[in-house]
Amino acid sequence: MKLLRMAWRNLWRNGRRTLVTVGAMTLALWAMVLYTSLMQGMLGSMESTLLDVELGEIQIHADGYRERPSIWERIEDPEALLEALDETGLRSSARLLGGALVASGEASTGALLKGLRPERDARVSDVHERLDRGEWLDPADGSGVVLGYRLARTLGVDVGDELVALSQATDGSMANDLFQVRGVLQSLSEDTDRGTVFLVEDAFRSFFALEDGAHQVIVRSGEGQELLAATGVVEEAAAASVSGVEVRTWRDLLPGIANVLDSAQAAVQVVAFIVYVVIAIMILNAMLMAVFERIREFGVLKAIGVSPRRVLALILTEGALQAALAIAVGLLASLPTLWFVVSRGIDVGQLGGTAIMGVSMDRIWTGAVSPVTIAGPVFILLFIVGLAVLFPAVKAARISPVEAIHHQ
């Protein structure tokens, strides 16, 4: 208690210096909490777009489909597979995939047609919630399609416009049909934005003269379920119901993005560390000054029998008190900022839709809050302050009393 009192009073011997040091720590903490929140928000949004909208956690394809995608390479009995997956409690849905030339007026481009059952697909994908305008697919509207954001722009079409699709059907005939744009998606990912057309399963089958099978089954792992564990369950269900399929996690499908997402968290910590190192130099300087100014006092303390450990504890306590002040003020200051970035977000204007590793950034960049948002920056601050204070503290503790007392 006496040590704490001494440490506290020592801080205010040079109040201005203490305020500047604490102010720098506070500002750094505030900035790092905000930065962490925004980065978590961005990464969370990217992951959510990837998993909730595009991929799901696990996908099942016919053997060889991924290497050479083809309308003929399909899962023979997707219904049996979906039934087996339903029994495991995992959410799943099948999709049909086929390439086509889509055109409107003078404009045309290649696109990937994705056929799905809207009701079942909603279990595995939030794509139906990501409409920029218009409406999502309706099983009753066989000619209705939903387009990617940039594809609509390339073709110069909007909700209500007609769209022609041309391809080769599985029976060898020329597949062609006239569709009507029901909706246009928000910017989601490079692939979806530029070249995806969603349509209902029946329309897809009719267009490609495809009676059975599916090209892709998307599976979502359970809440909090380990991906590997879920994959094991899916593999068992697949092996028991169909043959000739391969089960892949989203990490297998997009290893580059998976690595980026994994390392991005570490990158956040590295940036935080660099910011804090600058602060650490400031703290080190302030604490060294505080120690050198008081060399005689440390000499006297040691002369009257105060142990080196207590002297060390005194300086460390002074550092800890400054850090505690900075944490209290920094976190208080962070609350309204976090509230703003989480609930309102930052409008990034023209940057909205910019693709990062193929995944589009939302126009409103929102932050996220988790224990790591606070604990990460706080932990690193404490670590850095500890390091910065340790050197002057050890110096004070090891000081020779006789030299210190006669120090001028």
Partner 1 sequence: MGEGPVISLRDVSKVYRQGSVDIHALRDLSMDVEASEFTVICGPSGSGKTTMLNLIGALDAATSGSIVLEGRELGGLNKKELSELRRDRIGFVFQAYNLMPVLTAYENAEMVLWVQGVDGKTRRERVMGLLEQVGLKGMEDRRPSELSGGQQQRVAIARAIASNPAVVLADEPTANVDSETAETLLGLMEELNREQGVTFLFSTHDPQVMERARRVVRLVDGNVASDERR
Burial (Cβ within 10 Å: 0-12, 13-18, ≥19) of residue 31? middle
292 binds partner 1 (CB under 8 A): no
123 binds partner 1 (CB under 8 A): no
Interatomic CA distance for residues 297 and 300, integer angstroms: 5
- Identify which range of 327-335, 364-372, 384-392, 400-408 contacts partner 1 by CB under 8 A: 400-408
C-beta of 304: minimal distance to partner 1 in Å? 5
- Identify which range of 117-125, 260-268, 292-300, 376-384 contacts partner 1 by CB under 8 A: 292-300
297 binds partner 1 (CB under 8 A): yes
Q: Which of residues 308-337 bind partner 1 (CB under 8 A)?
A: 308, 310
CA torsion 36-37-40-41 (nearest 10°) is -150
302 binds partner 1 (CB under 8 A): yes
304 binds partner 1 (CB under 8 A): yes
Residues 6+ apart with CB under 8 A from 404: 295, 296, 298, 299, 300, 302
Among residues 17, 66, 153, 296, the one that binds partner 1 under rule CB under 8 A: 296
Structure tokens at 371: 């224990």
Among residues 10, 18, 40, 189, the one that binds partner 1 under rule CB under 8 A: 10
Bridge partner list, 173: none
Structure tokens at 138: 């309706």
- Identify which range of 32-40, 102-110, 268-276, 306-314 contacts partner 1 by CB under 8 A: 306-314
- Identify which range of 6-14, 30-38, 203-211, 337-345 contacts partner 1 by CB under 8 A: 6-14
- Identify which range of 69-77, 157-165, 284-292, 293-301 contacts partner 1 by CB under 8 A: 293-301
Burial (Cβ within 10 Å: 0-12, 13-18, ≥19) of residue 168? middle
Interatomic CA distance for residues 254 and 190, integer angstroms: 14
CA torsion 110-115-120-123 (nearest 10°) is -10
Size of the site for partner 1 (CB under 8 A): 20
Among residues 253, 306, 356, 387, the one that binds partner 1 under rule CB under 8 A: 306
17 binds partner 1 (CB under 8 A): no
Bridge partner list, 353: none
Interatomic CA distance for residues 78 and 38, integer angstroms: 41
**Among residues 9 and 133, whose Cβ is nearest to partner 1?**
9
Burial (Cβ within 10 Å: 0-12, 13-18, ≥19) of residue 70? middle
140 binds partner 1 (CB under 8 A): no
C-beta of 295: minimal distance to partner 1 in Å? 12
Site residues (vs partner 1, CB under 8 A): 2, 6, 9-10, 13, 296-297, 300-308, 310, 401-402, 405
